[in-house]
Structure 1
Amino acid sequence: MSKPLISVVITIYNEEDNIKPLLEATYGALEKLDYEVILIEDGSTDRTVEEVRKYANDRTKLIIFNKNYGQTTALAAGIDMASGVYIATMDGDLQNDPTDIPTMLQKAMDEDWDVVAGRRANRKDGFVLRKIPSKIANWVIRNTTKVYLNDYGCTLRVYKAEIAQNMGLYGELHRFIPVLAKQQGAKMTEVDVKHHPRIHGESKYGLSRTFKVMADLILMLFFQKYFQRPIHLFGGIGLISFFIGGLISFYMLILKIMGEDIWGRPLMILGFIMILGGIQLITTGIIAEIIVRTYFESQDKKTYTIKSVFEGTGRTLKGLEVQATESINRI
């Protein structure tokens, strides 16, 4: 069977009232494309599954989880199941508009983008509880990761399949998908997309997610800079700590030689702590290096990604040989 041009991955959780209009809008938007729709039902407790089975067409796959795993895991499952040349992702709450997908796909194809990300130009969410935290999070992520997108929270994106299926989605990293794609050398652009207010159901997001996002950001920064060489992080900090602790201890030794009582001084305790902490950090870096090497070598993974390979033709090589022989004969 030939691959469809695009696979549309939609995560759904307790969206029974949205399923019919969602599928109708999606099928209508994609009717001129060779497509498949993959719905990931993330452990809903309402009639979401029954509604999907009622209205799905023959190009639709439904993946049903046995419990709620979260949006990142749902996206990962849908992307793994996708067979399209391109993969689009979107939420199932009707706030993303599937009519944007053909335009984004065309841009990716015409201009050879690896990722075309949506930017909610006129966002229909609450200002205090949704827009302000989102703007702060976007600014922090953008300026710390140096991946300059304006809207990390918009799920509507179109990817080349090889990029999407090699990102390694775990935990709650869906907000950082552009960062994961950038680590593979993906070329990304951003376009304005439509955004609608939620009509049915309740939002699954709140202020509590802000702390999770900040924690995941630390992980992303580690992946960006030190994933392949963790000793550069742990070893560097450990050496600084060990050096400062050594200087403090040497200073305390001089005071002891001069006859001062140094026992129990906070500075002496600090010196011991920094020496021990430095040793522990350096040891952690060495262990992390061993784990990273095991990760790559046990799965035959490479530490690099090849974009393309060019091989010259035999005719060209032969032509060069003839030219070289004629030049030698003339000499």
Structure 2
Amino acid sequence: MAQPEISVVVTIFNEEGNIAPLLEAIYHSLESIDYELILVDDGSTDSSVDKMKALTNERSQILIFNKNYGQTTALAAGIDHSKGQYIVTMDGDLQNDPSDIPMMLDMAKKEDWDVVAGRRANRQDGFVLRKLPSKMANWLIRHTTKVYLSDYGCSLRIYKAQIAQNMGLYGELHRFIPVLAKHEGARMTEVDVKHHPRIHGASKYGLSRTFKVIADLILMLFFQKYFQRPIHIFGTLGLLSLALGILVNFYLLVEKLMGEDIWGRPILLVGSILVLGGIQLITTGIVAEIIVRTYFESQNKKTYTVKAIHQGGKKED
């Protein structure tokens, strides 16, 4: 089977009312493109699967999960099964518009972008429960990760296949896909795309995800700066804690030698905690280094990615 130009990965969870108009929009928008469509059903409990089976064409396949694993896992499965040169991701709620895909693909090919991310120019969501938390989260992610995209919440994106397939999606990291892509050295841009109000079904998002976003952001910052060298953060903090603890204890020793009673003083407890904490942090860093080495060596993974190889003596066309 020839490699399609794009693979469109759509995650589905209880979207029975959206299946027919979604597929119609995709087929119409991509009729001039060599594509494959991968629908990932994330454990729907309604009639979504039956409707997909009845309406999909020969270019489509449906991945059916036995239970709900979450959007990140659904995206990872769809990307794993993709064969296209480019991979497009989008939600199945019809708020993303498939008619934007040809424009984004053309932009990726002509300007050689690794990632083209959608930016919802006229977002059709409530302000207090959706837009305001999203703006705050976008600002926080931009300024902590230094990956300057305006809209991390827009699922409509197009990736070169080698970027998408090396991102290592798991947990709930779909919100941070641009950060993961940047970690792989991707060149990315963003473009305004259409956004529609939800007509059928209910949103799967709410304010409860705020704390999850913050927790995942901490993990992303660690991945960005210390994934291949965890001893640099644990060792630095450990040495600082150990040094402070030694200074405190040395001060107490001098006091003791001068005849002062140091027993029961809070500073004695502080000094002991700093010393023990420093030793524990340094030990954690060493263990983390061993785990990182095991991760790379046991799977024969490389700590680098070669973008291209040019053979000397050959002229460019």
* Band of TM-score, shorter chain: over 0.9
Matches of 1:192 and 1:161, distance apart in 2: 22
Residue 314 of structure 1 and its aligned partner are, at CA, apart by 8.2
CA-to-aligned-CA distance 1:96-129 (integer Å, 9 cap, x gap)? 0000000000000000000000000100001000
Q: 1:314 to 1:164 in 2, by over 3 A?
A: closer
- Provide the rounded CA distance (Å) in 2 between the counterparts of 1:85 and 1:166: 14
Counterpart of 1:12, as a letter, is I
**Structural mapping, 1:174-185, within 5 Å:** 174-185=174-185
Q: Which residue is equivalent to 2:147?
A: 147
Q: CA deviation at 1:313?
A: 3.6
SS at match of 1:191: strand
Kindly report structure 1 stretches of 4+ aligned residues shifted beyond 2 Å: none
Cα distance in 1 for partners of 2:314, 2:274 equals 64
- Tell me whether 1:79 sits opposite 2:79 in the alignment: yes
Aligned to 2:225: 225
SS in structure 2 of the partner of residue 11 of structure 1: strand
Whole-Å Cα distance in 2 between the matches of residues 30 and 108 of structure 1? 16
Q: CA separation in 1, counterparts of 2:117 and 2:227?
A: 25
Match of 2:308 in 1: 308
> AA paired with 1:2?
A
> Is 1:108 aligned to 2:124, yes or no?
no
Q: 1:289 Cα deviation (Å)?
A: 0.3
> Could you tell me how far 1:264 is from its partner in structure 2?
1.0
TM-score, normalization: structure 1? 0.94
Counterpart residue type for residue 274 of structure 1: L
Which residue in 2 is equivalent to 1:11?
Answer: 11
* CA separation of 1:115 and 1:314: change in aligned 2, threshold 3 A: closer
Q: How does 1:10-29 map to 2 (within 5 A)?
A: 10-29=10-29
| 1:195-254 superposed Cα distances (whole Å, 9 cap, x missing partner) | 000000000000000100000000000000000000000000000000001110011111
State the partner residue of 1:262.
262
Kindly provide the CA deviation profile for residues 135-189 of structure 1, in whole angstroms up to 9, marking residues without a partner as x: 0000000000000000001000000000000000010000100000001110000
Q: CA–CA distance in 2 between the matches of 1:314 and 1:16?
A: 55
Alignment partner of 2:196: what SS? Answer: coil
| Partner in structure 1 of residue 120 of structure 2 | 120
Which AA in structure 1 matches 2:227? Answer: F
Q: CA deviation at 1:277?
A: 0.2
Structure 1 unpaired stretches of 5+: 316-331
Which amino acid counterpart does residue 246 of structure 2 have in structure 1? G
Counterpart of 1:69 in structure 2 is 69
C-alpha displacement at 1:18, in angstroms?
Answer: 0.3
Aligned counterpart, 1:51: 51
State the one-letter code of the partner of 1:93.
Answer: D
DSSP 3-state at the match of 1:117: strand
Distance 2:121 2:303 in 1: 37
Distance in 2 of aligned mates of 1:176 and 1:314:
40
Structure 1: which amino acid aligns with 2:232? H
What whole-Å deviation, never above 9, does each CA across 1:20-57 have from its counterpart, x for those lacking one? 00000000000000001000000001000001011111
Letter in 2 for 1:280: Q
Deviation of residue 312 (structure 1)?
1.8
Letter in 1 for 2:203: S
Paired position in structure 2 for 1:323: none
Aligned residue number for residue 249 of structure 2: 249
Percentage of pairs with the same residue: 73
The SS at the match of 1:99 is helix
Inter-partner Cα distance in structure 1 for 2:4 and 2:188:
22
- Counterpart for residue 195 of structure 1: 195
Instruction: Give the superposition deviation at 1:2.
Output: 1.1
Distance 1:311 1:32 in 2: 36
In 2: Cα distance, 1:54 partner to 1:304 partner: 44
Letter of the aligned partner of 1:288 in structure 2? Answer: A
SS of 1:163's partner is helix
Q: SS of the residue aligned with 1:308?
A: coil
Aligned-CA RMSD value: 0.9
- List gaps (5 residues or longer) in structure 2: none
| Deviation by residue 1:302-322 (Cα, 9 ceiling, x = unmatched) | 11111111112489xxxxxxx
Following the alignment from structure 1 to structure 2, what is the Cα–Cα distance between the partners of residues 170 and 271? 40
Structure-2 separation of matches of 1:172 and 1:111? 31
Paired residue type of 2:244: I
Question: Matched residue of 2:98: which SS?
Answer: coil
Q: Secondary structure at the match of 2:158?
A: strand
